Structure 1
C-alpha cells in the first residue's frame, strides 16, 4: 500500500512536471515520453518509507556518495565547502564521474550562519545555497548537516595542539569555561571526553544555558527556510532531508544519568524541536537524519555506550536513523594488527540495519573512512573495501553465494570526505598566523579526502577508483533481495578478491574471469519505472556484460521502454552511466549479473551462464 501511494504521488508529480518542464521527449500513446520518462521530477522526490528510501515512482533508493566537505570546518573559506561556485561545480562533476556518487552530505557552519547573536548572515546562506545547487544540477541528491566537532574553534587557544568547529564565538563568550586542555591525548577525539572546556560547553548546549540551543534552532529554521525559498521546486526535490547536528554527545551526564536516558530525556526532545522547525521552514515532507549518541556503535569496548535511540519509539517516515562508523581499532594502530578481512564489519553494519528496522525507518551511515597518510594508512585499502562490502550486504563474501536471501537491505552511506583542497590549504589554525596548515585536510592532522587536485588543477582520486566508483543499485523497482559487488580493488600490488564466483557455477566463473562483477536479486512489484544500477567508469559500454532473466547482452543498448536491459546517462550531464532493467511484472524474482570480465563473450557462454544463474537463484533465493 505504501509503495502504491508513492507511485500515485509520483504520477501526479510527473504529470505536473511534464506540463512545466521544457525539452521533454515526444509522448507515447499513454501520454508519457518514451526516452527516460522516469527521470525528473518524480524520481528525485524521496521519502523514508517502509524501511527504505523510496522515490516518487515507488522504487527503493540507495544513497551513495561523500561528505562535502571538511573545508567547512576551516576559516579560510569562511565556513563554506568551496571558495567559489565554480569550484563547487568542478567538485560535483568529479564526484559523479570519478567517485560514482549520487548524493552528498553537505556541511554547514553555525558560526558562519550566525556570527552575531540573533543575526543570520544571508550572504553566507546565499553562497552556501549556490554551492549546494551545483550538486543538484549534477543530478546529486543533498542532505545538509550543521557540523560540529569539539563544539567550537573558539574554545581553543591560538597555540593549542587541537581545534574545533561549530558554535559561534558569541556562544563561547556567553559561557564561563576553563582553559582548554586535553592532557596526554594522542588523537583529537579524546578531547570529547577529556577536555573540560569541550565537555562543559557541550553540556551547556544540551541544557540550553544562556538560551544557546534556542538560538541554534532559530538559526537552523531560518537556514532551512532560506534554502527552500531560494531553490526551485525541482531543485528542492533533490534535497532529501537535514542532519540536525553532527555527532551528538552529552559532554557530561547528570547525576544518575546514563547514555540511554540522556538520549531519551535530552537528545530526543532536541530532535523533536528540530523536526518542528523543519516543518515550520517548509520541509514537512523531508525526514530529519537523526544521529544517536556518538559512542553508540563504537567498536572499542571501553568506548561503547548504550543507545541507538532505543526509547524514541517508531521513528517512521519523518526520521532517518543516521549513524557513523570508523574502525577505531584500526585507527589506533594498537588494537588491530594487520589488515581488514572479508566480512570484517558485517556485524557492525548489521547492527545499523537492525536498529533502523526496529525503529521503523531506513538507515544511513553518513560518515565512514580511514586515514590516507600516517602510520596506519597502510590499512586503508582493506578497511574501506570491508566497509563498502558491509554497506552492500550483511554477509561476508565467503558465505554470500550460499545464502543470498540473508544479505539484507543495501545500506546508504557517504564516505568522509571529498575535499578538492586536500594538501593545498592555507588555514590559520585557531587564527594563529604562525601556524599555517597546508597539508592533508588541515584540521587536527586528518587526511581522509578521497580526492585532490593535480598539478593542472583537475580533480583526481587519491584512492583506487575500483574501490570508490562502484556498482550499486541506485533505484530498485520492487524489493531488493540480495546484492554483492566484487570490486577487485588493490592493496598495493595485491588484488583483493573476497567474493569469488563458486566453482559450482563454472560458466558464470568463466564469464567473470578476473573482472569486476556485481549480482543483484530483486522481487518486482509492478512498478513501471526501471531498476537502475550505477555503472562505474570501468564498465564502458563495449565491456559491460549483463546476464539476467530479463535478457543477456555484451553491450547494453540505449534505453527505450521496450528494451528490458539497456544503458543511459546518469542525470546531470557528467558522463556517468547507469544500467536500466525493466520488469513491469509483479511478485517475480529477478536477477542481473553485471561484469566487465569477458571481451565479446559468445552467445553460448551467455546462455550457459544464464542457465546456471537461473537454477542458483531458484534454489538459493526463490
Structure 2
C-alpha cells in the first residue's frame, strides 16, 4: 500500500476540518451578541457537573454556561479609619481604580470590602451615608462588567481591643460591640513576629472573638435588681442560709423576691448582691476547673468576679469564656459551656415584674446579623435589576478563628459555632430578598494551615451535614510555610497542587462550589518567599492538578477550576495617612499601612505595578459553553530574579505520526478543554494585553485561525471564532475570544472540545498546525490532556523533563513496533544499527539536527547515523564519528528517514524480531519504512 497517499488524505481531511467554519452546512442558527446584554447572561447561580463519577458544584449563568471568576480584593484601605473605613476617598478615585483594574487585568469580579465599624455605628443605627458611598463605588465596578462579592472584612475581630501604644491593630467590629470585659492587647513577643499571632496569643483578641461566637451581651448598661432565674427548675440563685459572709455558696432556691436573690449587674461584668453591695458573685479561688464553687466574696474587680451573659442565658466567666455557671444538683458550679445543657440556661429577670431582662438586651452576633439584613435590603433598593444581578453574594466574616475552644473539638466548633452563624446569615438574607445570592462561607482560618507547629492545621471534613443551596465554600490560601521557617525551599512547578486539591476535596465533602477569596504573597520576596513564584504557582494550582493519573508530568484531564480574588488592589498604596489606633504619634503612610502588610500589586494611584505585569495580567475562561474539563495558562512569568518560569508546554500524540511531540515550550499560551454543549451562547476566554491580537494563532477542535481581525459583530460562519476588544472596558484593554460550538451532526453531550490560543505560531507551518489539532482531538477523545509540566518540579516523584521538541527522541518502526537501536549500546565506529524492543535507553535516543542533517546518538553526541554511502537496496546503517559527509545527512519527511542526497532511498526495518537488521531500501512508503517519533 502507498502509505504516502494515505498520509496525504489524512492531512487533507485535517485541512477540511480546519475550514469547516467556512464550508460547513450543518449550521442553521444565528450568532449575535444579544446574549451578552441579556439578564440571563448576568444572573449567576450554582449548578453541578459530573465526570467519571465525580460531581462538583460550579458557577453557571442562566444561559447554561459554566462561569469562572478572576479578580482582586478591593481593598485593604477598608481597614483604615482615614476615609471612614471605605476603600476609596470618593467616586472619582473608585472610577479610576476600578477602570484600571478592568483594563489591565480583565478582572470580572472584585471582593469588595465593607467595614462593620463604618456601617453599624450604634447597636440600633445604620450609617446610610456609608452605604450610599459604598454603593456608588460598587457601581463603578459594575460599569466595568465586574461582579461584586461583598466582604465584611475583619482581622483580629476589631481594633478596639488594642491600645494607642499597641504595635498592631485590628479591624472589623465597632467599639460598642467590644465589651471592656474582653480586655486589652497583651500579646507580647509572638505578635512582634507576626500580627496573626494575636489569634493564638492575645487574650483580648481571643475573648472578643469568642464573645461574638457565643453571642454575648454587649454590656452597654447597668441592670439593677435582677434575678438569676433557672426556668428548667423554676428556681433562683440564692445565698446559702442567707449569709453574706465571704465564700458563702450560691445555690438554687424557690424564688422569693428577697435581696438575697437580687443582683445588680454592672457593665464591667460584676454582679453585686443586693443584700450586701460589698459582696459580688465570685469564682472560688479564681480557678477554672470544672465543679469550682460559685460563691459570694468581697467585691474586688478581678476577673473571678466578672461574668458575661449570652443570648442563650448562659453566664460565662471572664476567667475563661468557655466556662459557664451551672446548676449542679442545687449548687452553682463552674462547668464547660454547653449549647444543650439546660442547667446553664438562666433568665435574667426583673424582680418586680418577673419579665425577662435578657430579651431587651443587645447581643453582639444577633446585632451583626440584624445589621446585615438592613444593609442587604438597602443595597437592593438602590440597584437596578441588572446591577443587583452583579452582586454575586456576601461573605459575612473574614478569616474566622475560634478564639480558644476549650474542651470543644474542632468538629464541634464547625457544627455548633461556625455553621450555625452562617445559617443565621443565610436566613436573614432570605428574609431581605437575597434568596439567589450566595453566602460565601469561610472555614476556620487554620483548617489547612501549613505554618508548622506554631499553628498546626485544625482539619476539615467535620460538618455533620451538607449545607445545601445558598452557600459557597470560601477558603483562603497563603503559603505560611514559606512565609515562616517551615519551608525554605524555592517554589517551582506544581508547587501548590496539593494545597488546592485539599480545597477541592473539602468543597466536595460539603457539596459546595469553591471560591478562593484571598491568596497572594507579600511584595519583594526572594528565594523561598519569591512573590512571583508563590502567586504564579497558586494561579497554576487553581487551574490544574495531576493527582488522579499520577506524576507523569501531564496534568489531569479533569480538574475543576477554582475561581478567586487575589489580595490586593490598593489604589492608595504608599500614600496613606493613618493614625494607628488613633495615636497621632504613630502615623502609617507606607505600603498597605496596616500591621506592616505589603501586598498591593499596584502603586502610585495605579500608575505602576509592584509586581511583574505578566503575573497579574493572565488569560482565563470567563464562560464555557459546556462543562470545563481543565484549563491551563502559560504566562511566561518572570520571578524576582528575572528567571522566566515556563511551567507548561503542549505535548501531543497523533497516531501514525508522532508520540509525545512537544509544542510551544517557552511560548505564552492558554488551553481549555470542555465537554458537550449546554448553551447556544459561546465560550468566552479572556486574553491579556500581553497576547497581542495580530500575533494570535487559535486552534479549536473544529478550526485553525490566524490573523483574526478584531470584530464587533459575528460573521455567521459555522462554529465561529470571534476576537474583539474586551467589552465595557476603557481603551487599551485586553481581548475577548468568543467560540461558538454549533450543534453539528454526530455530536452529543460527551463530545470534547478545546481551544488553544498561542501567542505566535512558534515557527509551525499550516501542516504542523493541522496535525497538532488532530493530535489534541485524539487525546481528548481518550480522556488525556496535552498540557505537559516542564522544567524543575517542586516535589519529588516526577520523571525527568522530556525536554524541548528539538530534544532526543526514539524512532519506533510501524511494522515491528520496535525502536531504532545501537547494538549493545556500543559507540565504536561501525557499530550496527538494528530494531530492538523499546526500552527508553540512550541507545535508542536520537537527536535530529536539521541544519546539518545529522542524526546524533545520545550515547555520544559526536556519533551519528551513517549509511556509508551505500545508496542502494540492503545498504547498511551503522554508528560513526560525525563528520562533514553526505553519508550522514538525513531528511525526516513525514514518517520516513531519507538520505538528503538520495531521496529515493529510505531507512527500512528488514525484520520483526529483536536485533533484526535496519538498512536502506528504495522508498515504497510501507510500514517497514515508517518511523514514529516518540519524544
TM-score for the superposition, normalised by structure 1: 0.89
Structure 2 distance, partners of 1:494, 1:327, is: 21
Tell me whether 595-604 or 319-328 shows the greater mean CA deviation.
595-604
Q: Is the 8 A contact 1:531 1:581 kept in 2?
A: yes
Q: Is the 8 A contact 2:671 2:756 kept in 1?
A: yes
Q: Is the 8 A contact 2:461 2:509 kept in 1?
A: no
RCO comparison, higher one (Cα < 8 Å, 6+): 1
Structure 2 distance, partners of 1:412, 1:298, is: 20
Structure 2 distance, partners of 1:340, 1:397, is: 22
Structure 2 distance, partners of 1:352, 1:476, is: 22
Which of 386, 392, 403 is residue 543 of structure 2 equivalent to? Answer: 392
- Judging changes above 3 Å, is the alpha-carbon distance between structure 1 residues 381 and 526 closer, same or farther for their aligned structure 2 residues? closer
Structure 2 distance, partners of 1:321, 1:115, is: 30
Query: Which residue of 2 is the match for residue 37 of structure 1?
Result: 35
Indicate yes or no: 2:169 matched with 1:163. Answer: yes
Query: Which residue of 2 is the match for residue 470 of structure 1?
Result: 618
Structure 2 distance, partners of 1:257, 1:396, is: 34
Hey, which of these two has a bigger chunk of strand by percent? 2
Q: Is the 8 A contact 1:99 1:469 kept in 2?
A: yes
- Judging changes above 3 Å, is the alpha-carbon distance between structure 1 residues 97 and 599 closer, same or farther for their aligned structure 2 residues? farther
Structure 1 distance, partners of 2:463, 2:371, is: 28
Structure 2 distance, partners of 1:534, 1:246, is: 29
Query: Which residue of 2 is the match for residue 16 of structure 1?
Result: none
- Using the TM superposition, give the Cα deviation of residue 621 of structure 1 relative to its aligned residue in structure 2, in angstroms: 3.2
Query: Which residue of 2 is the match for residue 493 of structure 1?
Result: 642
Query: Which residue of 1 is the match for residue 417 of structure 2?
Result: 266
Indicate yes or no: 2:186 matched with 1:181. Answer: yes
Q: Is the 8 A contact 1:371 1:377 kept in 2?
A: no
Which of 193, 200, 218 is residue 193 of structure 1 equivalent to? Answer: 200
- Judging changes above 3 Å, is the alpha-carbon distance between structure 1 residues 62 and 369 closer, same or farther for their aligned structure 2 residues? same
Query: Which residue of 1 is the match for residue 667 of structure 2?
Result: 515
The within-5 A match list for 1:141-540 is 141-172=147-178, 174-185=179-190, 186-210=193-217, 211-254=363-406, 256-302=407-453, 303-308=455-460, 310-332=462-484, 334-373=485-524, 378-395=529-546, 404-453=555-604, 457-491=605-639, 492-502=641-651, 512=664, 514-540=666-692
Tell me whether 404-413 or 285-294 shows the greater mean CA deviation.
404-413
Structure 1 distance, partners of 2:136, 2:214, is: 34
Structure 1 distance, partners of 2:518, 2:688, is: 22
Indicate yes or no: 2:177 matched with 1:137. Answer: no
Which of 16, 41, 61 is residue 55 of structure 1 equivalent to? Answer: 61
- Using the TM superposition, give the Cα deviation of residue 511 of structure 1 relative to its aligned residue in structure 2, in angstroms: 6.1
- Judging changes above 3 Å, is the alpha-carbon distance between structure 1 residues 479 and 401 closer, same or farther for their aligned structure 2 residues? farther
Output one character per residue of 1:257-282: Cα deviation in whole Å (capped at 9) or x when no partner.
01221110011111111001111121
- Using the TM superposition, give the Cα deviation of residue 225 of structure 1 relative to its aligned residue in structure 2, in angstroms: 1.1
Structure 1 distance, partners of 2:660, 2:608, is: 34
**SS at 2:576's partner residue?**
coil
**SS at 1:314's partner residue?**
coil
Structure 2 distance, partners of 1:365, 1:354, is: 13
**SS at 2:704's partner residue?**
strand
Query: Which residue of 2 is the match for residue 569 of structure 1?
Result: 725
The within-5 A match list for 1:553-568 is 553-557=705-709, 558=711, 559-560=713-714, 561-562=716-717, 564-568=720-724
- Using the TM superposition, give the Cα deviation of residue 570 of structure 1 relative to its aligned residue in structure 2, in angstroms: 3.0
Q: Is the 8 A contact 1:507 1:609 kept in 2?
A: no
- Using the TM superposition, give the Cα deviation of residue 377 of structure 1 relative to its aligned residue in structure 2, in angstroms: 8.3
Structure 2 distance, partners of 1:326, 1:129, is: 30
Larger radius of gyration: 2
Structure 1 distance, partners of 2:366, 2:736, is: 45
Q: Is the 8 A contact 1:308 1:355 kept in 2?
A: yes
- Using the TM superposition, give the Cα deviation of residue 246 of structure 1 relative to its aligned residue in structure 2, in angstroms: 0.6
- Using the TM superposition, give the Cα deviation of residue 615 of structure 1 relative to its aligned residue in structure 2, in angstroms: 2.7
**SS at 2:736's partner residue?**
strand
Query: Which residue of 2 is the match for residue 100 of structure 1?
Result: 106
Q: Is the 8 A contact 1:514 1:597 kept in 2?
A: no
**SS at 1:242's partner residue?**
strand
- Using the TM superposition, give the Cα deviation of residue 305 of structure 1 relative to its aligned residue in structure 2, in angstroms: 3.8
The within-5 A match list for 1:598-609 is 598=761, 602-609=765-772
What stretches of structure 2 of length at least 5 have no aligned partner? 1-27, 49-56, 218-362, 786-935
Query: Which residue of 1 is the match for residue 899 of structure 2?
Result: none
Q: Is the 8 A contact 1:466 1:538 kept in 2?
A: yes
Structure 2 distance, partners of 1:33, 1:552, is: 19
Q: Is the 8 A contact 1:268 1:309 kept in 2?
A: no
TM-score for the superposition, normalised by structure 2: 0.60
Structure 1 distance, partners of 2:550, 2:770, is: 26
- Using the TM superposition, give the Cα deviation of residue 361 of structure 1 relative to its aligned residue in structure 2, in angstroms: 1.9
Q: Is the 8 A contact 2:118 2:130 kept in 1?
A: yes
Structure 2 distance, partners of 1:260, 1:572, is: 46
Output one character per residue of 1:505-554: Cα deviation in whole Å (capped at 9) or x when no partner.
88997863532112111012341111111111111210111111121112
Output one character per residue of 1:112-169: Cα deviation in whole Å (capped at 9) or x when no partner.
0012221000000100111011101100011101111111112111111100000001
Query: Which residue of 2 is the match for residue 23 of structure 1?
Result: none
Q: Report the aligned-residue RMSD.
A: 2.4
Hey, which of these two has a bigger chunk of helix by percent? 1
- Using the TM superposition, give the Cα deviation of residue 252 of structure 1 relative to its aligned residue in structure 2, in angstroms: 1.6
- Judging changes above 3 Å, is the alpha-carbon distance between structure 1 residues 420 and 444 closer, same or farther for their aligned structure 2 residues? same
Q: Is the 8 A contact 1:94 1:459 kept in 2?
A: no
Tell me whether 39-48 or 106-115 shows the greater mean CA deviation.
39-48
Output one character per residue of 1:560-619: Cα deviation in whole Å (capped at 9) or x when no partner.
153521113334233332111111334210111111033796433322322232233233
Structure 2 distance, partners of 1:352, 1:272, is: 21
- Judging changes above 3 Å, is the alpha-carbon distance between structure 1 residues 308 and 133 closer, same or farther for their aligned structure 2 residues? farther
**SS at 1:480's partner residue?**
strand
**SS at 1:316's partner residue?**
coil
Query: Which residue of 2 is the match for residue 114 of structure 1?
Result: 120
**SS at 2:493's partner residue?**
coil
Query: Which residue of 2 is the match for residue 26 of structure 1?
Result: none
Structure 2 distance, partners of 1:137, 1:545, is: 31
The alignment covers a number of residue pairs equal to: 587
Which of 84, 88, 96 is residue 82 of structure 1 equivalent to? Answer: 88
Structure 1 distance, partners of 2:464, 2:493, is: 34
- Judging changes above 3 Å, is the alpha-carbon distance between structure 1 residues 269 and 159 closer, same or farther for their aligned structure 2 residues? same
**SS at 2:391's partner residue?**
coil
Q: Is the 8 A contact 1:136 1:142 kept in 2?
A: yes
Structure 1 distance, partners of 2:667, 2:661, is: 10
Query: Which residue of 2 is the match for residue 578 of structure 1?
Result: 736
Structure 1 distance, partners of 2:420, 2:111, is: 23
Output one character per residue of 1:188-238: Cα deviation in whole Å (capped at 9) or x when no partner.
000011000001111111111110111111111111111111011011111
